[in-house]
């Protein structure tokens, strides 16, 4: 699924043949201000006759992971340095996720700028954790940092280590990958092992905080994270401050994907910079929204989660990075692909569009109101409706979530490769959710932007977790996931100030954290809305008791009876952003070719 597919390590790359004159320096030592020494691997053109700009990656995933990138940039006129994060690989110190990268990144920039083979201009490359590292480094304002290109950037307190304060089982998988000094890649990629451990915790009703022990890797980091469930308040000091954003004035290229689990983090940085930076700085911040998942923000593929994409989607991001660095550090021309400051890909139409600002996309907010015949909306075969007509009366729709119901785990006994086209969660709600459909679209329509669901609900427990999914259902019956959101009821008003639900009270729940999407909905397709209880091996289980969710077990379980209202006083509705006009469409350009599976 989308929410917990984030912070993944770089996937293995294809081979690059031949030696194109690259000089390697392994074991390059970089001193930090506190005396710790970090280890770098340096790639330079063997025939370089003058100092060059330097690109570097600061990574917990070990320098060898990025070897192909180093070879690429050294072959194309740059010195490239891969630096093991503190406490990882051959670097000294202790790895403490997110805590040291800003100051270490600053010191790396300034050290590299002083090397005889550097011309003093230093840039950064990387995604996910290495995207966070770029913002953390920029936050320290090293004088010689010329540009950053953060992709799929995790943002502490926004999308990591929890999304909307709901923790994912994956966090323990990631912590195990980055435990110790050496890579644990085989263990990280062993899906059967992780699914087995997640199921063990789920089926035995063990508290979520015991997942590290179940995995076999007791983690103080995991325990610290869980001890601060209001993640935004605990983590926000690691993100740039408003004054930091006002000072940031170097060129920035932000890259994310519609199915990138760290899209919320990448967009948080982007939006804050657009809001608080100077006009000059905003004019040099570009944004690319591809139709990609997390890994695709660095290595695009023509299929993501079972969804087939057009040839135009498969950008050569290595080449685009080189062109960006040429423009910002060598006085070259702006990359041809960056026609305007925002580029986004429309799936279904399979073409790129451009705009100067995200808020300048010409859309109309269309409200689709929830209805149901006699309060029946419990499954895809007896669903409610989404209509532009307001509902003036009618019985509420009801569902029941029993935390001790184990049936959903049977759907999750194996890895789901085609998660964007998989319908199991909609077809198997086990009475713990509601489904609504539109009528078939009379004409094709482009939906670009953010969805929003307002649901007026009543329940008899102080807390529970909700998941919301929106799909396109094609005439063929194929299901295509568009966007997902999640909410813990106690945080319905604020992620920093929890408030228990009031039994018997009808309250407004606004789901406003859907991911950005852009898709042309085909004529004859329907939209499907699924609102369900979160009962999955992949997320914390909320036993509805209202206490510390990480500590709850079967003894805390309370059955939640949920009613969703859609009458004149409670107009529950799904808002969709529909593009008003054809806009500025660019025909799919010839693909920028790249070596297969470069990293």
Residue 12 lies in a domain: no
Work out the number of other CB atoms within 10 angstroms of the CB of residue 153: 34
Q: Lowest-pLDDT range, 356-360, 446-450, 451-455, 482-486?
A: 356-360
Are 445 and 481 members of one domain?
yes
d(CA 498, CA 142): 38
Q: What is the pLDDT of residue 581?
A: 63
- Comparing 231 with 32, the larger pLDDT belongs to 32
CB-based burial label for 35 (10 Å; 0-12, 13-18, 19+): exposed
Which H or E element spans position 162? strand 162-163
d(CA 183, CA 64): 10
d(CA 387, CA 540): 34
**Residue 514 vs residues 120, 470, 487: alpha-carbon distances, Å:** 41, 10, 11
Q: How many residues does the chain have?
A: 599
- The CATH number given to whatever domain includes residue 67 is 3.40.50.1820
Are 238 and 292 members of one domain?
yes
d(CA 466, CA 64): 41
**pLDDT (average), residues 82-99:** 97
**pLDDT (average), residues 243-264:** 97
6 confidence band (pLDDT: 50, 70, 90): low
Q: What is the pLDDT of residue 124?
A: 98
Q: How many domains does the chain have?
A: 4
Angle at 75 between CA 74 and CA 77, to 5 degrees: 65
DSSP code of residue 574: E
The answer, yes or no, to whether residue 157 has pLDDT greater than 80, is yes
Q: Is 540 helix (H, G, I), strand (E, B) or coil?
A: coil
Are 531 and 568 members of one domain?
yes
**pLDDT (average), residues 365-390:** 92
**pLDDT (average), residues 247-274:** 97
**pLDDT (average), residues 54-63:** 97
Task: Supply the pTM of this predicted model.
Answer: 0.93
**pLDDT (average), residues 389-398:** 89
Range of the domain at 211: 166-229
Q: Residue 514, Cα to own-chain centre: how many angstroms?
A: 11
Are 156 and 217 members of one domain?
no
Q: Lowest-pLDDT range, 263-277, 301-315, 418-432?
A: 418-432
Are 97 and 242 members of one domain?
no
Residues 131, 150: contact at Cβ < 8 Å? Answer: yes
Are 308 and 159 members of one domain?
yes
Residue 584 lies in a domain: no
Are 218 and 305 members of one domain?
no
**pLDDT (average), residues 381-386:** 93
Q: What is the pLDDT of residue 20?
A: 61
d(CA 518, CA 258): 8
The answer, yes or no, to whether residue 588 has pLDDT greater than 60, is no
Residue 277 in tokens:
């930076």
Residue 599 lies in a domain: no
Q: What is the pLDDT of residue 381?
A: 87
d(CA 559, CA 543): 8
Q: What is the pLDDT of residue 19?
A: 59
Mean pLDDT score of the chain: 92
| Pairing relationship of beta strands 433-437 and 526-533 according to DSSP bridges | antiparallel
| Pairing relationship of beta strands 384-387 and 363-371 according to DSSP bridges | antiparallel
* Residue located via tokens 């994912």: 168
Q: Find the Cα–Cα–Cα–Cα dihedral 95, 98, 100, 105, rounded to 10°.
A: 110
- The CATH number given to whatever domain includes residue 566 is 2.60.120.260
Q: What is the pLDDT of residue 391?
A: 83
- CA dihedral for 512, 516, 521, 526, sign (positive or negative): negative
Are 447 and 552 members of one domain?
yes
Which H or E element spans position 323? helix 317-329
Helix, strand, coil shares of the chain as percentages rounded to 5?
25, 30, 45
Q: Lowest-pLDDT range, 235-244, 276-285, 412-421?
A: 412-421
Q: What is the pLDDT of residue 234?
A: 87
The answer, yes or no, to whether residue 568 has pLDDT greater than 70, is yes
**What distance separates the 2 farthest-apart alpha carbons in the chain?**
79
Residues 6+ apart with CB under 8 A from 35: none
Residue 592 lies in a domain: no
DSSP code of residue 248: -
Residue 568 lies in a domain: yes
- Phi/psi for 457 (5° steps) reads -130, 155
Residues 187, 177: contact at Cβ < 8 Å? Answer: yes
Boundary (domain end) residue, out of 177, 201, 229: 229
Residues 146, 53: contact at Cβ < 8 Å? Answer: yes
Share of the chain above pLDDT 70, in %: 93
Q: What is the pLDDT of residue 375?
A: 78
The answer, yes or no, to whether residue 15 has pLDDT greater than 80, is no
Boundary (domain end) residue, out of 361, 385, 409: 361
Beta strands in 300-382 (DSSP E): 303-304, 307-308, 342-346, 351-355, 363-371
| Pairing relationship of beta strands 351-355 and 507-511 according to DSSP bridges | unpaired
Residue 590 lies in a domain: no
pLDDT tens, position by position, 488-541? 999 999 999 999 999 999 999 999 999 999 999 999 999 999 999 999 999 999
Q: What is the pLDDT of residue 13?
A: 44
- Phi/psi for 141 (5° steps) reads 55, 55
Radius of gyration of the CA atoms of the chain, in A: 24
Q: What is the pLDDT of residue 273?
A: 98
Residue 15 lies in a domain: no
Are 249 and 195 members of one domain?
no
Q: What is the pLDDT of residue 353?
A: 98
599 confidence band (pLDDT: 50, 70, 90): very low
Are 219 and 253 members of one domain?
no
Residue 587 lies in a domain: no
Exposure b/e, 526-557, CB count within 10 A at least 16 = b: bbbbbbbbbbbbbbbbbbbbbeebbebbeebb
d(CA 304, CA 294): 10
Share of the chain above pLDDT 90, in %: 85
Are 329 and 263 members of one domain?
yes
DSSP code of residue 246: H
- End-to-end CA, the chain: 24
**Residue 431 vs residues 12, 378, 537, 574: alpha-carbon distances, Å:** 41, 6, 18, 22
Are 462 and 314 members of one domain?
no
**pLDDT (average), residues 131-140:** 98
Q: What is the pLDDT of residue 438?
A: 97
Angle at 320 between CA 317 and CA 321, to 5 degrees: 90
**pLDDT (average), residues 108-137:** 98
The answer, yes or no, to whether residue 595 has pLDDT greater than 80, is no
Q: Lowest-pLDDT range, 124-133, 231-240, 345-354, 589-598?
A: 589-598
């Amino acid at each position: 699924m989308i929410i917990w597919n984030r912070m993944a390590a770089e996937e293995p790359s294809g081979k690059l043949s031949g030696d194109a004159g690259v000089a390697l320096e392994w074991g390059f030592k970089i001193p930090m201000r506190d005396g710790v020494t970090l280890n770098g691997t340096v790639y330079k053109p063997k025939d370089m006759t003058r100092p060059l700009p330097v690109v570097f990656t600061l990574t917990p995933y070990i320098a060898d992971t990025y070897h192909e990138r180093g070879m690429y940039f050294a072959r194309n006129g740059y010195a490239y340095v891969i630096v093991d994060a503190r406490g990882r690989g051959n670097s000294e110190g202790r790895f403490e996720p997110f805590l040291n990268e800003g100051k270490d990144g600053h010191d790396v920039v300034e050290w590299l700028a002083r090397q005889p083979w550097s011309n003093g201009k230093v840039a950064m490359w990387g995604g996910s954790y290495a995207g966070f590292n770029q913002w953390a480094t920029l936050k320290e304002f090293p004088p010689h940092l010329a540009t950053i290109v953060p992709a799929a950037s995790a943002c502490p307190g926004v999308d990591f280590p929890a999304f909307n304060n709901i923790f994912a089982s994956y966090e323990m998988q990631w912590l195990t990958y980055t435990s110790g000094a050496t890579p644990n890649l085989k263990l990280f990629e062993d899906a059967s092992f992780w699914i087995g451990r997640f199921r063990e915790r789920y089926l035995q009703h063990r508290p979520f905080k015991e997942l590290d022990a179940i995995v076999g890797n007791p983690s103080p980091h995991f325990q610290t994270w869980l001890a601060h469930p209001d993640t935004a308040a605990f983590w926000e000091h690691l993100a740039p401050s408003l004054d930091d954003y006002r000072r940031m004035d170097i060129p920035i290229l932000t890259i994310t994907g519609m199915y990138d689990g760290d899209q919320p983090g990448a967009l948080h940085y982007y939006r804050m910079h657009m809001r608080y930076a100077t006009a000059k700085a905003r004019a040099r911040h570009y944004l690319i929204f591809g139709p990609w998942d997390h890994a695709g923000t660095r290595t695009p593929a023509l299929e993501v989660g079972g969804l087939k994409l057009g040839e135009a989607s498969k950008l050569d991001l290595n080449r685009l990075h080189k062109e960006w660095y040429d423009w910002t550090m060598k006085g070259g021309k702006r990359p041809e692909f960056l026609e305007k400051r925002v580029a986004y890909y429309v799936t279904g139409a399979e073409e790129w569009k451009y705009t100067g600002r995200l808020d300048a996309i010409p859309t109309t907010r269309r409200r689709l109101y929830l209805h149901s015949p006699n309060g029946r909306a419990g499954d895809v075969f007896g669903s409610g409706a989404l209509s532009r007509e307001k509902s003036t009366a009618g019985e509420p729709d009801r569902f029941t979530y029993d935390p001790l119901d184990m049936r959903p785990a049977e759907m999750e006994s194996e890895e789901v490769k085609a998660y964007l086209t998989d319908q199991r969660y909609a077809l198997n709600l086990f009475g713990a959710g509601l489904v609504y459909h539109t009528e078939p679209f009379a004409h094709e329509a482009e939906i670009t932007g953010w969805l929003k669901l307002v649901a007026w609900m009543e329940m008899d427990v102080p807390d529970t977790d909700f998941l919301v999914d929106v799909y396109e259902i094609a005439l063929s019956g194929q299901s295509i996931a568009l966007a997902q959101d999640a909410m813990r009821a106690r945080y319905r008003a604020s992620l920093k100030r929890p408030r228990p639900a009031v039994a018997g009270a009808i309250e407004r729940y606004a789901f406003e954290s859907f991911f950005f999407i852009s898709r042309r909905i085909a004529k004859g397709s329907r939209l499907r809305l699924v609102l369900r209880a979160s009962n999955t091996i992949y997320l914390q289980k909320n036993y509805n008791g209202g206490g510390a969710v990480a500590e709850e077990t079967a003894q805390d379980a309370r059955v939640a009876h949920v009613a969703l209202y859609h009458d004149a006083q409670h107009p529950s509705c799904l808002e969709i952003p529909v593009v008003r006009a054809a806009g500025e469409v660019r025909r799919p350009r010839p693909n920028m070719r790249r070596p297969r599976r470069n990293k």
